[in-house]
Amino acid sequence: MRILGIETSCDETGIAIYDDERGLLANQLYSQIKLHADYGGVVPELASRDHVRKTVPLIQAAMKDAGLNAGDLDGIAYTAGPGLVGALLVGATVGRALAFAWNVPAVPVHHMEGHLLAPMLEDNPPAFPFVALLVSGGHTQLISVTGIGEYTLLGESIDDAAGEAFDKTAKLLGLDYPGGPMLSKLAQQGTEGRFTFPRPMTDRPGLDFSFSGLKTFAANTIHGNGNDDQTRADIARAFEDAVVDTLAIKCKRALEQTGFKRLVMAGGVSANRTLRARLAEMMQKRGGEVFYARPEFCTDNGAMIAYAGMVRLKGGTSGELGITVRPRWPLAELPPVA
């Protein structure tokens, strides 16, 4: 089975073709980062327009890379939510129209299920059950996963997502949008322990997160200590250590609560090297295993949508003919796949 995946939920146009026997046949990605950098964040209307410009040419490029023609595909998967409504509508419209023209099923995919399943694209895919830590620009969630579509939300952020906290703190440190990766780079020059940030909500039971206080803490620390290069690096280090520590504490709790031995991390922030190393070390100590995708499959991409679409199509999912997207869409609402 061969599926074309279309991702247009935010600021990257991702197009990929996945073959269940041969693996990934093509993977095209266009990032709009430069377009939004001047504004310090994603401008929805500009994002939609750029997806309109890029989606079809990238599909053509992917088909060429894979050496395929229209008749060679078995389905088209597109991100139907959550995300920016205008951006989602571009992928949904192109996906639906192509599926209609090529007479193959169109499969609406949940963006976070795409992230969650991205580690399955790697050589050592996780088996069920596992705890998933989903950390992206819009979500911070701990989920119990017992099968495809068998998702129970264990905890989530009550305010900013982890990636959002990275980006906002990066902005305070004078870094461009999206500052998460750059803040992490700066943190490598930082002195451990010069500043200590709080570990929000770790002093009480439960698996929810709160990250908005950390950016305020960063703002106050910048205000009180000046803005020279070393201080900025030290603040970046303290911030990153606090986020990583907080995520690790809650992952440990979720593993204890569920009794699961596998931890899957996914979403843009799972590309963070300090977080990957910290959770790998924790899982080794616990006699368990951690799973994550290669960095380019942690952030938004078409491959995870093609893969999730294939799993869903095999499980019998196929949307109605209408073009509907869901800017808000709880992951736990997805039906299980037998």
Q: Give binding residues for Fe cation as ranges.
A: 111, 115, 300
Q: Which does 319 bind (CB under 5 to 8 A by kind): Zn ion, ligand KG4, none?
A: none
CA dihedral 319, 330, 10, 237 (to 10 degrees): -150
3-state DSSP assignment of residue 130: strand
**Pick 8 or 272: Cβ nearer ligand KG4:** 272
Interface with Zn ion, residue 8, by CB under 5 A: no
- Neighbouring residues of 234: CB distance < 8 A, sequence distance ≥ 6: 190, 191, 194, 195
Question: At closest approach, how far in Å is the CB of 182 from ligand KG4?
Answer: 8
Q: Which chain residues interact with ligand KG4 by CB under 6 A? A: 10, 136-138, 163, 166-167, 178, 180-181, 184, 267-269, 271-272, 299-300
**Pick 136 or 157: Cβ nearer ligand KG4:** 136
Question: At closest approach, how far in Å is the CB of 138 from ligand KG4?
Answer: 5
Q: Please, what is the angle between helix 44-66 and helix 85-102, to 10°?
A: 30
Q: Are strands 262-266 and 289-291 parallel, antiparallel or unpaired?
A: parallel
Residue 43 in tokens: 């401008």
Residue 143 in tokens: 């989920």
Interface with Zn ion, residue 136, by CB under 5 A: yes
**Pick 89 or 298: Cβ nearer ligand KG4:** 298
Residue 160 in tokens: 């900013």
CB 307, CB 114: distance < 8 Å: yes
Question: At closest approach, how far in Å is the CB of 249 from ligand KG4?
Answer: 18
Question: At closest approach, how far in Å is the CB of 314 from ligand KG4?
Answer: 25
**Pick 66 or 170: Cβ nearer ligand KG4:** 170
Angle formed at CA 72 by CA 71 and CA 77, multiple of 5 degrees: 100
Q: Which residues bind Zn ion (CB under 5 A)?
A: 136, 300
